[in-house]
Structure 1
Amino acid sequence: MTDNVQNNILNEYDNSLTTLQKLEKKVKELLQDLLEPNKANIHTISSRIKSKDSLSKKIERKNKYSYLRDITDIVGFRVITLFSDTVDEVAKILESQFKIDEQNSIDKRKALDPNRFGYMSLHYVASLSDIRGQLPENYLISDFRFEIQIRSILQHTWAEIEHDLGYKSKNSPPQPIQRRFYRLAGVLEVADEEFKNIRNDIEEYKSQVEDSINKNNLNKVRIDIESIKEFIQREPLVKQISQAISNKTKLRLLENQNVESDTIEYLFHSGYSTIGEIKRDLEKYRDKIIKFTVLWINESGRNNFGFITCEVALIRLSYIKLALIGNAPDIIERLKLFPLYIGTEEQFKQLAARILKTYEEINLSNL
């Protein structure tokens, strides 16, 4: 390649930089919109424009380009997924929404040596679809191609570490180090597959819990974060109690689909082990849970957030369960197992005394 050709491409790069920045912004926003339904399984979507220095080195190294548009990765995007099978889901979306340059695209999961775990990603060279490219606002960027890499987070982590160590070529490391790379690559590939299987098993477990709740067969459903989440979402009694608390305290009931792990610890250490036990006591102590919580909040004189979630019914149920023990020393021993932000003996004594006092007051109010 002559210096003249290289300089022409670099000059073209300088003159096109604003357009390339517009392309980067447009496609990144488009990727974010297209992949929004898969958001739970997408770790990051990143982008970059190749620097002039990097471009100059590539032109010199490849010695095959005549124009800037010949270079397919001037603008690059990377979609990092949590799970390996999400790569194919993302690929189907991109194939339907962009014009894919199949000749220059490569699925390195199939093409590379299996020991090259970190580089087993899917590389698409793409451009805007004909429909999007014809829009007036996309006229200047419609002819540019760009690269989209899709890989799992474990594949990405491996590639980044291996690259930083300077061993991008499989023949670069000394032989003993190369062998260790291969062994580690195998472990990570198994881990990638296992994370996917764990996710699938969790979904299957959630389906089983949902079925048990719908059939009111709860005595064998053990307490964990997934079973409690399904129980809160599907058991009307939980929301009824929480809504009553909200009405009486004037605190907004937040429709929160998440469950804090602390809630599981509260229930477990107050003596519950199955969802059936929780439902039984929610029914038995419904009015007491409401009165206890309202009194507890009112005596606190404040709520830092201005809202409550449905978990409040379960957390205060655990306090009532402790109050039923009846004596402060035993309550304190249980409280020490709770995920509380206190630690001194005096603080535990005060909390146990408050639990007993609040429970006594709501009982007196029924007389």
Structure 2
Amino acid sequence: MQVDYSDRVIRELNKEIEYVLNPAGLLYRVFGRAKSEYSLDKKVKKEPGKYTPDGKNIQDFLGVRITLYFADDIDVAVELLKENFVFLSEDSVIDKPEGDVFSARRCNLIFELPDSFDVVYPRKFESIIDKTFEVQFRTVLSEGWHEVEHDLRYKAKEDWQGHDDLSRALNGIYATLETSDWGMIKLFEELSYRHYKSGNLDEMLKTKFRLRLTSGLSDPVREIVQADNSILKKVFRAPRTTIVKDLSFVCKFVPLTPDVLIQVINRKIIKDDKIKETEVDVLKVQLDSYESSQS
């Protein structure tokens, strides 16, 4: 497809990313931008000679930010994008936490732009722009901090010279947000456990898996699960990350409903014939295909 230098290319790229992430049911928002000529000019002048036609190119002309509701979904989203786009590991930055040093961790990945995109770049900079796009991953809680830090510290380093104590304090605010991210997950884990102990199947599914589910649980599936405590226990103990990755394949052509969630868990863990009988034909085909690909 032909796309020009405008918001149109970002909208198309966002759709490609949503097509990858939506089947998994992750709770997230995606934002994107194409650098303006002014921004490109400023980037080039900041480090003269860094970007050349035969050397290093600008790789973040197209930038996407994925903001996830929960920190434990970042690794899932990263893996899904790596499986669906050409990942350039040598050009990407994934900071590893250090036990005795605290600082904000970056997760900025570079991917090749799909061949279906024919981007018209600003003529002045066309020779030094790579056919790539950058994806940054954030959590909802940390997003605001990153915006402040980028605009008011990263872009204004001279303002912070000689004020290391305040720079550390700014990092400390991020530490509080990171702790809050962890606390948010633990809160929902406790809430799901309480619903499990109370036999509240619908509420347990929503708070345990934290996914964007459509519709509600059907009576036939509900009755099967609630009639057997061992099945309910296996649903509750199902490894969330593993199931989410399975859903990303299975739900490309079927909506992610509570029924489908339980049916996927059943194929993976429970192995109950009565639950299997509730699968609709299109889901059965998807599950059979997925199981064959995993064997």
Fold match (TM-score > 0.5): yes
Counterparts of 1:226-237 in structure 2, within 5 Å, are 226=203
The 2-side partners of 1:101 and 1:48 are apart by 20
Which residue of structure 2 lines up, in the alignment, with residue 184 of structure 1? Answer: 173
Measure, in 2, the Cα distance between the counterparts of 1:188 and 1:139.
37
Task: State the structure with more CA Rg.
Answer: 1
Please tell me whether the aligned partners of residues 10 and 33 of structure 2 are also in contact (alpha carbons under 8 angstroms): yes
Q: CA-atom RMSD, angstroms?
A: 3.9
Residues 1:32 and 1:61: Cα distance change in structure 2 (over 3 Å): same
Name the CA shift for 1:144/1:54 in 2 (closer, same or farther; >3 Å). Answer: same
Aligned to 2:27: 41
Say whether residues 1:195 and 2:184 are aligned partners: yes
Residue 233 of structure 1 deviates from its aligned partner by 5.2
Determine whether 1:151 maps to 2:129.
no
CA separation of 1:175 and 1:206: change in aligned 2, threshold 3 A: same
Determine the C-alpha separation between the residues in 2 that align with 1:48 and 1:179.
30
CA 51–96 in structure 1, closer or farther in 2 if over 3 Å, else same: same
**Contact map agreement 1:79 1:150 (CA 8 A) in 2:** yes
By how many angstroms is 1:30 displaced?
Answer: 0.6
What TM-score does the superposition give when structure 2 sets the normalisation length? 0.56
Q: Which residue of 2 aligns with 1:29?
A: 15
The one-letter code of the counterpart of 1:29 is K
Aligned twin of 1:70: 57
Amino acid in the other structure paired with 1:172: W
Give the residue type in structure 2 aligned to 1:65: Y
Q: Where do 5+ consecutive residues of structure 2 fail to align?
A: 120-129, 208-215, 221-256, 259-295
* SS of equivalent residue, structure 1 residue 72: coil
Secondary structure at the aligned position of 2:4 is classed as helix
Return the match for 1:140 from 118, 136, 140.
118
Deviation of the 1:37 alpha carbon: 2.8
Structure 2 counterpart of 1:83, from 53, 70, 77: 70
Work out the CA distance in 2 between the residues paired with 1:102 and 1:81.
Answer: 22
Aligned equivalent of 2:107: 122
Quote the offset at 1:79 in angstroms.
0.3
Matches within 5 A, 1:247-266: none
Q: What number of residue pairs does the alignment pair up?
A: 200
- Asked whether the 8 Å contact 1:124–1:149 carries over to 2, the reply is yes
SS at match of 2:90: coil
% identical equivalent positions: 22
What SS class does the counterpart of residue 76 from structure 1 fall into? strand
Could you state the TM-score of these two structures normalised by the residue count of structure 1?
Answer: 0.46
In 2 relative to 1, CA 79–126 (structure 1 residues): closer, same or farther, beyond 3 Å?
same
Question: Using the alignment, how far apart are the partners of 2:160 and 2:134 within structure 1?
Answer: 26
Residue aligning to 1:103: 90
**Which residue pairs with 2:160 in the alignment?**
172
Closer/same/farther in 2, CA of residues 56 and 170 from structure 1, 3 Å limit? closer
Structure 1 residues 235 and 188: alpha-carbon distance in aligned structure 2, compared to 1, 3 A threshold? same
CA change 1:164–1:55 in 2 (3 A) is closer
Q: How does 1:329-344 map to 2 (within 5 A)?
A: none
- In 1, are the aligned partners of 2:3 and 2:117 still within 8 Å (CA)? no
Correspondence 1:207 to 2:196? yes
What secondary structure is seen at the aligned counterpart in 2 of 1:99? coil
Letter in 2 for 1:162: E
SS of equivalent to 2:118? coil
What is the distance in 2 between the residues matched to 1:139 and 1:53?
23
- Cα–Cα, structure 1 residues 183 and 71, in superposed 2: closer, same or farther, change >3 Å? closer
Q: CA deviation at 1:235?
A: 7.5
Structure 2 residue 44 is matched with structure 1 residue 56 = no
Give unmatched runs, 5+ long, in structure 1.
1-15, 215-224, 237-255, 258-367
